Amino acid sequence: MTLNCVIIDDEPLAAELLANYAEKVPFLDLQGTFNSATEAIKTIREKKIDLVFLDIQMPELSGLEFARIIGNETRIVFTTAFSQYAIEGYKVNALDYLLKPISFEKFLEVSQKALDYFESLSKQKAMKEDRFIFIKSEYKLQKINFDDILYIEGVKDYVKFYVKGNSKGIMSLMNMKKVEEYLPEPEFMRIHRSYIVHMSEVQLVDRFRIVMGDNYLPISESYKDMVQKYIEDHTLF
């Protein structure tokens, strides 16, 4: 996988340094180096830019302001000489930040993090389109079709898939957050820290508990509003 990137920094020497770094990273394809955010807008809009190395303190339009107006598909790595800006960077969903002076080692580390993110995103998309996953269970790889899943339960460090035709469930060592990332929403919905439910398989809701066979799955307060809206959107009054 190759990531299209641009560099935005109002200091020409800083921009040149990062451009030299980018040229050394085989999976980065540098599409342009700019000394202001306004100069970069056209390139970012016309080309599919995956990653922006963005200085925070710039005239006209600051990096933080610019981050709020570009699309979510483009991820940002802030470059700054001031560590206190890191918290502000995460508020605008920055992938990471680099503290000046920036070494090639740190630049490569953050670039690898970006590559891992986009590869994971691509994998998630493929799984959602193919509608099946393989999980490790009892030293074997078990295929699970999305259409066969009834619900998923988190049990400490394990996840248990309850599928059609298997009342015992299929156990695998993983966490619920990882499973949730690879399942299409809102078809699969988190209703509790311990449960993800295949909503199209729900046949009964009893006093705000989802009934799956003989099992009553609680809906926790933190997910209540989201689940209630889904149910209301599919209810005839």
The pLDDT tens digits of the residues spanning 97-143 come to 898 899 999 999 999 999 999 998 888 888 788 899 899 998 899 99
SS3 182: helix
**CATH code of residue 216:** 2.40.50.1020
Same-domain pairing of 98 and 70? yes
Of 94, 128, 162, the residue that ends a domain is: 128
State residue 209's pLDDT score: 93
- Where residue 49 sits, what CATH number does that domain have? 3.40.50.2300
Do 74 and 62 lie in one domain? The reply is: yes
Residue 83 binned pLDDT confidence (cut-offs 50, 70, 90): low
Is 60 exceeded by the pLDDT of residue 90?
A: no
Q: What is the C-alpha to C-alpha distance for residues 26 and 33, in angstroms, rounded to an integer?
A: 17
pLDDT tens digits, one per residue of 157-202: 899 999 998 888 999 999 999 899 889 889 999 999 999 999 999 9
Do 33 and 66 lie in one domain? The reply is yes
22 and 82 both lie in a single domain: yes
CB 117 within 8 A of CB 95: yes
Q: Angle at which helices 12-24 and 104-130 pack, to 10 degrees?
A: 60
Range of the domain at 65: 3-128
User: Is 168 found in the same domain as 99?
Assistant: no
Instruction: Give this prediction's pTM.
Output: 0.67
The answer on 196 and 97 residing in a single domain is no
**Count of domains for the chain:** 2
Residues 110 and 141 in one domain: no
Mean pLDDT estimate for the chain: 89
